[in-house]
Amino acid sequence: MHENRSTPARVWLLAALALAAAVVVIIGPALFDRFTLNVLTRSMIYAMLAVTVDILWGYTGILTFGQAAFFGTGAYASAMVLSHLGASPALMVLALALAIIVPVLLGAFVGWLSFGHGSTPLYATVISLVVPIVVTQLVFSGGVWTGSSSGLVGYSGLPLGLPGYFRLTGICLIVTTVVALVFTRSDAGKLLVAIRDNEARCAYLGLNPQRLKIVLTTILAGVAGIAGFLYANASGVVAPENTGFVFGTEIVIWTALGGRGTIIGPVIGAIGIDYLSAQLSGDLPFLWNLVVGALFVVMIILLPNGLAQLARMVLPRRNEEQASPSGSPTLAAEPAGNGSEAGNRVLAVSGLGKSFGSLQVLQGIDLDVHPGELVSLVGPNGAGKTTLLRCLSDGTEATTGTVTIAGQDISGMTPDEIVALGVGRKFQVASVFDSLTVADCLRMARASRNAPSLLRRSATLGLPAAATDILRSTGLDRMLLGRPVSLLSHGQKQSLELAMVVALEPKLILLDEPTAGLTKVERTTIGATLQKLTGELGFAAILVEHDLDFVRDISTRIVVLHQGKLVLDGSVDQVVNSEVVRTIYSGGAHA
Ligand SMILES: Nc1ncnc2c1ncn2[C@@H]1O[C@H](COP(=O)(O)OP(=O)(O)OP(=O)(O)O)[C@@H](O)[C@H]1O
């Protein structure tokens, strides 16, 4: 794959900004008085935390109040070593190591609890509220080890002096910010947005969003721990408030006010508000919190995306609609993947049943599908068609019977594991990533095969020929690759989702009413595409469709489902001319 070797302007801009910030940090001690240096050192440590919250909340959609717990754990781990064991160079290294390891272990546990098997979106937020409270209680009950309610104070830290701490924390913040900016703008960083937008689609692209969120929580807990280490050294005191829920909420407020999903916004928000708090809370000790609270409410109403939104309104903006073609990646052909061997069954369903409580939705379904077949699944509303597709793409759905894909029983398997067996699923309502561009959506579809770069935006987009064909035939190719998905028409989103599914190079494609709401021209294009995919390229497909004329034109076989039972499985002619079908569609047949 070719990479664009020229360095984009935004990389130079980032380097220039980082350099300017480094200069300010280096000469800062000569510019600021002691009070300002002290406050800014603390503010910059808090800004590191705000970056971690922004990656979790702003990019990945995980609202967390728990970063304070990891920060506090790191701070206490360091302070306990320095207080009880000493501050020799070796013990300093131990203090730093524990300030990372303990929060990382806690982060992995919290991540597993929040996003592990069976979790719901509510888990993460509730657990992030509970963890700081638990950690604070542990600190209170730690006796002399943690200093209980008084915290730990009077230990020796790194021998840097105030200017040294200012410079060290400044450099750490610049590094954290640059790494976060590079990562969130890389191909891999787009994965976070994909998870935020549409977790189910991620799973059906063969990705494992739960695992990714656990890894992210763990790594960012480690970063919060490093911030805790800096704080414990620079301030010379750690207290229960450093681990608490109130502090965790403050970080969220700084992030929101600065502008989540921007990295720079939360950095400015944290430094600005903490600095102002230090300046004003002396003069307005009781009013200050009220001022911050009121500011928060006003901002949420007027500028829900924070100060960064104001900056975007003022600064000239790139017109996203005109971002193509110069901003678009170039399409590159990927070698064809694992085609199915004609003759072998791709899918074998035997005695499949599904019930919701006492409601039996599917019963005794037997079905085989071979490579090259386009099997249409028809039946009246409520017959169980979508439920059947769900049972074929999620091994935890079926109540009875077996589903075998490419020779492997899928019972108990999760959607991403089934994608790896060669199943692609297209949903009834186009399931894409609205905040990403067309190219990024397609890149997500390849992410389980080609690990996306953590550092770069690729200048090319490698896709199998079948997916590129769909883009060409539906007009989504080059000119629209850089366009945000939110600007696409309904038909374009349907075509994009189909291209994403085909980009997975599945053996079996499951399509739930792919032509719903499309114009006649769009339907004809999709029909021709499906015929080519199956007839010429050897994919197998199961198509749920209500339009019998469309089905008749393109199918190789038709299966009729009625009241949860498979009542007919035959050639197009057999089914179309069947008395049973006529009776079912006229509403006359009952099980
Ligand atoms: N999660 C659920 N809980 C309870 N009942 C459900 C659930 N999902 C589906 N059903 C019921 O299962 C039956 C089959 O639904 P399904 O959506 O599979 O039908 P369908 O053939 O796809 O219908 P349509 O053509 O209208 O999309 C319906 O009676 C529906 O109400």
Range 415-426 average pLDDT: 95
Q: Residue 421 corresponds to which tokens in the numbers above?
A: 């067996």
Query: Ligand 1 in contact with 356 (CB < 6 A)?
Result: yes
CA-wise closest residue to 500 among 555, 454, 436, 412? 436
Single pTM value for the model: 0.88
CA dist 315 and 215 (Å) reads 35
Contact 29, 167 (CB under 8 A): yes
Query: Which pLDDT does position 319 carry in this prediction?
Result: 45
Angstrom distance (rounded) from CA 516 to CA 431:
13
Residue with tokens 């000119």: 479
Neighbours of 582 (CB within 10 A): 12
Predicted pLDDT of residue 322: 42
Yes or no: say if 526 and 514 are a contact pair by the CB < 8 Å rule.
Answer: yes
The reply to whether ligand 1 has any atom less than 6 angstroms from the CB of 378 is: no
Per-residue confidence (pLDDT) for residue 327, from 0 to 100 = 57
For residue 272, pLDDT beyond 90: yes
In the prediction, which pLDDT does 221 show?
Answer: 98
For the chain, the 3-state helix, strand and coil shares in percent, each to the nearest 5, are: 55, 15, 30
Pocket-testing residue among 355, 360, 385, 512, ligand 1, by greatest number of atoms within 8 A of Cβ? 385
Note whether 419 and 502 are within 8 A (CB): no
Cβ–ligand 1 contact at 361 (below 6 Å): yes
**What share of the chain has pLDDT > 70, as a percent?**
93
The pLDDT value given to residue 4: 45
242-255 burial, b if ≥16 CB within 10 A, otherwise e? bbbbebbebbbbbb
Query: CATH 3.40.50.300 in the chain, residues?
Result: 347-585
Give every CB contact of residue 440 below 8 A, 6+ residues apart in sequence: 187, 190, 194, 433
What ipTM, to 2 d.p.? 0.95
427-463 pLDDT, tens digit each? 989 999 999 999 999 999 999 988 899 988 888 888 8
pLDDT at 51: 98
Nearest Cα to Cα of residue 151 among 236, 87, 69: 236
Range scoring the smallest mean pLDDT among 150-164, 346-360, 505-519:
505-519
The CA-based angle 271-282-289, given to 5 degrees, is 65
Residue of the CA atom closest to atom 6 of ligand 1: 356
The answer to whether residue 36 scores a pLDDT higher than 80 is yes
CA separation, residue 27 to residues 23, 163, 167, 278, 341 (Å): 6, 9, 9, 22, 68
CA of 387 to the centre of ligand 1 (A): 6
Residue ranges matching CATH 1.10.3470 in the chain: 22-314
The residue ranges of DSSP E strands in 379-505, in sequence order, are 400-405, 408-409, 423-426, 460-464
- Res. 333: pLDDT tops 80: no
Q: How close is the Cα of 384 to the center of ligand 1, in Å?
A: 6
Give the residue among 346, 401, 375 at the shortest CA–CA distance from 564: 401
At residue 339 the predicted structure's pLDDT band, cuts being 50, 70 and 90, is low
Flag the least confident range among 48-62, 294-308, 391-405, 491-505: 294-308
> What is the b/e burial string over 291-323, where b = at least 16 CB atoms within 10 angstroms of the residue's CB?
ebeeebeebeeebebbbbbeeeeeeeeeeeeeb
State yes or no: pLDDT of 390 exceeds 80: yes
- Distance set, CA 121 to CA 32, 118, 308, 336 (Å): 45, 10, 27, 38
Rounded to the nearest 5°, which phi and psi values hold at 363? -150, 140
Give the pLDDT score at 589: 54
For residue 235, the CA-to-ligand 1 centroid distance in Å is: 60
Pair type for strands 400-405 and 408-409: antiparallel
How far apart (Å, rounded) are the C-alpha atoms in residues 540 and 372? 5
pLDDT-derived band at 2 (thresholds 50, 70, 90) equals very low
For residue 434, give the nearest of 249, 228, 198 by alpha carbon. Answer: 198
Distance 382 CA to ligand 1 centre (A): 5
Region 312-326: mean pLDDT is 52
| Fold of the domain spanning 22-314 | ABC transporter involved in vitamin B12 uptake, BtuC (1.10.3470)
Q: What is the pLDDT of residue 281?
A: 72
pLDDT of residue 3: 42
347-585 CATH pick, 3.40.50.300, 2.60.40.2480, 1.10.3720.10, 2.30.22.10? 3.40.50.300
**Minimal CA–CA distance to 541: which of 567, 515, 562, 512?**
512
Which residue in the block uniquely carries the two structure tokens 């109040």? 65
- For the beta sheet containing 347-356, the strands, ordered from the edge strand earlier in sequence to the opposite edge, are 359-369, 347-356, 400-405, 408-409
Question: What does the pLDDT read at residue 286?
Answer: 72
End-to-end CA distance of the chain: 56
- Beta carbon of 383 within 6 Å of any ligand 1 atom: yes
Residue 221 in contact with residue 107, Cβ under 8 Å? yes
Please tell me the distance from the alpha carbon of residue 148 to that of residue 141, in angstroms, as a whole number.
6
pLDDT (0 to 100) of residue 321: 40
pLDDT score at 591: 47
For the ranges 152-161, 362-371, 533-542, 576-585, which has the lowest average pLDDT?
A: 576-585
Q: Tell me the pLDDT tens digit for each residue of 575-590.
A: 888 887 778 777 655 5
